[in-house]
Amino acid sequence: MGFRCDFLVDDRVIVECKTVKELTDLDLAQLLNYLKIIDLRVGLLISFNVVLLKDGIKRVVNKLEE
């Protein structure tokens, strides 16, 4: 069984694109699972349903150490 991420950039960053009114915890959980599956640290969750694209970008970090 595998998964399908929208974009994998340079084998370092997963980019998941959405066209939803609001990003949910389910969208975040999906991206975190993708990051865990291929053991990456950083992903971007992007919603294109915003006026300014910068307002629709959320950076997600797997295994964030405090």
pLDDT per residue over 46-59, tens digit each?
A: 999 999 999 999 99
**Contact at 8 Å (CB) between 27 and 16?**
yes
Dist. CA 39–CA 44, nearest whole Å: 15
Q: What is the pTM of this model?
A: 0.85
Q: Give the pLDDT mean for 11-35.
A: 94
